[in-house]
Homo-oligomer: A and B are copies of this chain.
Amino acid sequence: MAKYTMRDVARLAGVSIATVSAYINGTAGVSERLTAKIAEAMAALDYHPDQVARSLKVGRTQVIGMVVPDVTNAFFPEVIRGVEDAAAVEGYSVILCNSNEDAEQEKRHLSTLFSRRVDGVLLACTDTAAAYGSLIQRRFPIVFLDRIPQGIPHAGVCTDNEGAGHVATRHLIGLGHKRIAFVAGNLRHSPHAERLNGFRKAMQEANIAVRDECLRMGDQSIESGYKAGLEMMRLAVPPTAIIASNNRMLLGLMRAVNELKIRCPQQVSIVGFDDFAWTQHFTPPLTVIAQPAHELGRKAMEMLLGQIRAGEGNETKRFENLRLAGELRVRESTARPPALQLVGKTRRKGGD
């Protein structure tokens, strides 16, 4: 397959190797006649320029690495699409790696990516900030995606998670809820910490105390959402609304609620994060905060390209940060709290 070289093409076209190179890279003007002959020869041989030789020569691979905790989390495939769409336009390919939420695996993946001389890395990180300090100091092109390490300068793009947590909470407060619970993911991961912050802020602004038993720390798994749901809904005074900090815990929550025969939204309102094809077809259709996943990926790739091109010169873009707004999509899993439902209905009937 990788049989023919530029030399073969040159010979067949009756030109020099340098001319072929010039033609392929558009470096110098090549006469129309030769252009035709070269194109013909390339087609005849089904010649594919050897990018690895080229990479060695020019010091760029036109490949970037992307490491995510787990592609199987439906949030990431959309991000990946955004990344690839932006990458393809610029002739970049992407090597995908799963860290499996394991700092060691992440480190190994990064190491092989460096060996492969990727031009840059997109990272939804699993490790703590300390692991990336030297990378950034050396000016290796890297942008953090979704999960942002704390305490080091960096470039990154993620959802405005604090804002999203805030909006979700205000939606519930606006419906009249006061006993609002929050099922967080691992707080060492910025999205979850920030969503919780947004929740706390909104509660504080509304002068509603956050009760300890209404705060559960999960680990992003369905199981942990299920457990949290079970425990909370069995409280003497259960919450009237719950926010799940990611899509899997949301699923677990719904399972718990169904198992306990608690009706949603009549008895408890629920809002989650992430919006997929199935969320709106759920029973009830779920109110969620949708993340701009595709755009997250696209922007991250664009920022990375910016860093790659800036090279040693441009410093301005190295620590750029982008936070894209999430979007509250109100569906049927949220409603007024039980105590207010009669009032609400009465009012509505009365001509609201």
Contact = CB atoms under 8 A, between A and B. Distances in A.
A93 interface: yes
Interface in A84-116: 84, 91, 93-98, 111-116
A140 to B, nearest CB: 4
A229 B27 CA distance: 57
A63 B74 CA distance: 25
Given A140-B1, A283-B282, A63 B95 contact: yes
A52 B57 CA distance: 10
A314 interface: no
Interface in A169-200: none
A17 interface: no
A316 interface: no
Contacts of A51: 112, 115-117
A117 B2 contact: yes
A48 interface: yes
B248 A277 contact: yes
A80 interface: yes
Contact of A283 (B81, B91, B115, B283): B283
A283 B283 CA distance: 6
State the oligomeric state as a number of copies.
2
Given A72-B81, A93-B95, A96-B94, A114 B281 contact: no
Interface string A211-246: 000000000001000000000000000000000000
Contacts of A48: 111, 114-115
Contacts of A63: 95, 116
A283 B255 CA distance: 11
A236 to B, nearest CB: 27
Nearest to A279: B278
Contacts of A49: 115
A59 B48 CA distance: 15
A76 to B, nearest CB: 8
A127 B80 CA distance: 23
A61 interface: yes
Contacts of A59: 2
Contact of A254 (B254, B255, B281): B281
B116 A98 contact: no
Nearest to A46: B134
Interface string A51-68: 111011001010100000
Given A71-B71, A93-B112, A251-B278, 4 more contacts: A96-B96, A251-B281, A255-B281, A282-B282
